[in-house]
Amino acid sequence: MSALAATRRMRAGTLLREVMARPSGAIGVTLVTLHALMAIFSPLIVPYDYKAMAATLTLAEPSAAHWLGTDHLGRDVLSRVMLGGREALVITGIATPVAMLWGGLTGVWLGLRGGWPDEVAMRVVDAFLALPGILPLLVLITVFGTGGEVLLPTLAFFFGIPVIRVARAAAHEVVARDFVSAARARGHRPFDIVRREILPNVTDTLLVEGAMRWSWMLLGFSALSFLGFGVAPPRPDWGLMISDARVYMSLAPWGVIAPVLALSTLIIGINLTADALAKTLGLDRSRKAVI
């Protein structure tokens, strides 16, 4: 292991300990970790096959055999809730770093470059941000389909656009400093300035933004599933489960409450972690969020 890699690992470990030292961070990291472990190991520990239907057990109340009851097709709600976050976590867990990578690098480059490319790019960004959040997602998914190979790049693209503004604003603060002016005076290439001078000074901001972006992407993914444009049945997904069970809310509320609680605890965990991370890094999350 190189000295740089060892230093980065030590910093990551120290940062995690400092985040966990805060009550909000400890709760947030614990919730996210529990959901990640459930997504990994749930296929091995679910009590029933998520596709197994029982006509005699439709909308059955919670019992010793079915702790969270059954849905309108007689499927075990607990098994489906335990498996319901796997696809969302996998797709958004990959799409979020991709969104942060392309959006962050684009924003940093625009912050350094300035001029007409910056003006043109930001007007394009403003045009995208003026659209209702889910509308462009629905258009592309309607045209190209709802598989993971479509959802992943679509989410990564549209959720990366707001990152451009955050990265650009953070880069502007760094570009104004003397060490960047000195690097330019020495004739360093823009790529080297971005890599050596700007990125190390905006990484903390992008880490916090990435945590927030992940929670928003999870909500977007669940909203698509709720509307029928995400995970295809019979595969379990929290958004799809809520959509299917809401019709029977008055008869079997557990079918809605269980996936809502699962999704809510994951979103709360991510947001608590993001808050603790921002405080640990000395960042004003509310100020960064509105740029």
User: In this structure, what are the phi and psi dihedrals at residue 70, rounded to the nearest 5 degrees?
Assistant: -130, 165
The proportion of the chain whose per-residue pLDDT surpasses 90, expressed as a percent, equals 59
User: Which single residue is written with the structure tokens 């808050």?
Assistant: 275
- Is pLDDT above 80 for 30? yes
Tokens of 162: 């707001």
Q: What is the pLDDT of residue 288?
A: 42
Average pLDDT over residues 120-127: 92
Q: What is the pLDDT of residue 164?
A: 95
Instruction: Render 15-74 in DSSP notation, one character per residue.
Output: HHHHHHHSHHHHHHHHHHHHHHHHHHHHHHH-SS-TT---GGGTTPPP-SSSTT-B-TTS
Tokens of 216: 């928003």
Q: pLDDT band at residue 3, thresholds of 50, 70 and 90?
A: very low
Average pLDDT over residues 75-83: 95
Q: What is the pLDDT of residue 14?
A: 84
- Is pLDDT above 80 for 290? no
Distance CA 221, CA 89 (A): 10
Contact 100, 163 (CB under 8 A): yes
Gyration radius of the chain's alpha carbons: 22
Contact 236, 80 (CB under 8 A): yes
The whole model's pTM is what? 0.88
Q: How many residues does the chain have?
A: 291
Going 254 to 241 to 224 to 43, the CA torsion angle's sign is positive
* CATH architecture, range 23-39+69-289: Orthogonal Bundle (1.10)
Q: What SS3 class is residue 233? A: coil
- Is pLDDT above 70 for 264? yes
- Is pLDDT above 90 for 191? no
- Is pLDDT above 70 for 285? no
Contact 210, 100 (CB under 8 A): yes
Contact 59, 252 (CB under 8 A): yes
- Is pLDDT above 90 for 196? no
The proportion of the chain whose per-residue pLDDT surpasses 70, expressed as a percent, equals 94
**Range in 4-8, 131-135, 239-243 with the lowest mean pLDDT:** 4-8
Q: pLDDT band at residue 289, thresholds of 50, 70 and 90?
A: very low
- Is pLDDT above 90 for 150? no
